[in-house]
Amino acid sequence: MLLEDFNAAGRAEAAAALRPCLDIERWIEEMVDSRPFGSTGSLLEAAARAAEPFTNAEVGAALAHHPRIGERAAGNSTEARLSQSEQATLGAPVPAVAAAIAEGNRSYEQKFGHVFLIRAAGRSREEILAALHTRLAHTPEEEQLVIGQQLREIAVLRLEGLIGA
């Protein structure tokens, strides 16, 4: 979809285009209501700021759509394909690192009650494992802020691909 098409789309169509990027209704509404955007850059800047900060309920709903890091998203939806593409950049798993990420995922979920979320694109498995260990030391409040930022980074990355930047 081109930026011009997004700007001209009906409300429902524009919202549907955004949903695979970040399925938080308030973010989608703010983005749709902010149209028209003069450039892809201004669209991406707005996406990075929209609906700041996310509520715990919004984050919980968004996290329900994300697979564990290191696992392929199931299905053939646009969101699943985007997630598969993002995690494909991790390269072939090294068994010891993959096992450490799986164990870290379990520890993280036990501590925080939801999946570990990180923008995988452009990061190695080792970088993700290091971030996972760092974030396990966070308080729930600290981690909530990091998750909000990660959701935004993922949304901007997906939106950039969607709008044909």
What single-letter amino acid sits at 50?
A: A
Average pLDDT taken over every residue of the chain: 88
For residue 148, the enclosing domain spans 3-162
**Cα 104 to Cα 98: distance, rounded to the nearest angstrom:** 10
How many whole angstroms separate alpha carbon 42 and alpha carbon 103? Answer: 40
For the stretch 25-71, pLDDT in tens is 999 999 999 999 999 999 999 999 999 999 989 998 899 878 888 77
pLDDT digits 0-9 by tens, 108-151? 999 999 999 999 988 999 999 999 999 999 999 999 999 999 99
Q: What is the CATH number of the domain that holds 35?
A: 1.10.3330.10
Burial class (CB in 10 A: 0-12, 13-18, 19+), 6: buried
Q: Which residues contact 21 (CB under 8 A, 6 or more apart)?
A: 47, 82, 154, 155, 158, 159, 162
Domain count, the chain: 1
